[in-house]
Amino acid sequence: MSRFTTTVLKGVGVLVLAILVLSAIATIVGLAMSVVATVVSLVVTLVVLGVVLLALVGLWSLVRDDGDERAESTIAAPHTGTETADRDPEARLRERYVAGEIDDDEFERQLDLLLETEESAPRLDRDSSNGHESDRTRLRDR
C-alpha cells in the first residue's frame, strides 16, 4: 500500500471517529435536554395542579362558610318571618351609621326625622280615632 492509501484510510478513520464522537455528544445533549424538559413540565404541572387545588379549597371554603353563617345567624336569631319589618327603625339607622353607610350629619338628620315621626305618630292615631280631622290636616301634621 502506498503512502497515499494509508493517508486516505487514516483520514476516513478520523472522520468516522469524529462522527461517532459527535453522535455520542448529540445523544448525551439530547438526553440532558429531555431530562430538563421533563423536569420543567413536571414543575409546570405541579404548579397548575396547586393553583387548581387552591381554587377548589377556596371555593369549598366559601360554600361551607356561607352555610355556616346561615346556620349561625339562625341559631343567633330565630327566624320570625318578618325580621326586616319588625326591626326598630332607630336600630337600623344606628347599624347603617356604624357600618359607615351614612356620615354624622346624615345620621343626625335622619334621627331627628325619625324622632319627629315617632312623636307625631300618637297624635295621628288620636286624630284618626276622633274622626273630626280631615285627611288634609293629618297629612299637614306629618
- Residue 92 or 122, more confident: 92
C-alpha atoms less than 13 angstroms from C-alpha of 44 in its C-beta half-sphere: 6
Contact of 112 with 90, CB cutoff 8 Å: no
Q: Give the predicted TM-score (pTM) of the model.
A: 0.37
pLDDT of res. 78: 53
pLDDT of res. 42: 97
What confidence category does residue 72 fall into, taking pLDDT thresholds of 50, 70 and 90? low
- Residue 68 or 118, more confident: 118
Average the pLDDT over each of 2-6, 7-11, 26-30, 80-84 and give the range with the smallest value: 80-84
What confidence category does residue 111 fall into, taking pLDDT thresholds of 50, 70 and 90? confident
Which residue shows C-alpha cell 493517508? 7
What confidence category does residue 81 fall into, taking pLDDT thresholds of 50, 70 and 90? very low
What confidence category does residue 18 fall into, taking pLDDT thresholds of 50, 70 and 90? very high
Contact of 120 with 141, CB cutoff 8 Å: yes
Q: What share of the chain is helix, strand, coil (3-state, %, to 5)?
A: 85, 0, 15
**Would you state the cell numbers that stand for residue 95, as one nine-digit string?**
347599624
> Is the confidence at residue 115, as pLDDT, over 70?
yes
- Name the DSSP class of 100: T
Average pLDDT, the chain: 80
pLDDT tens column, 19-36: 999 999 999 999 999 999
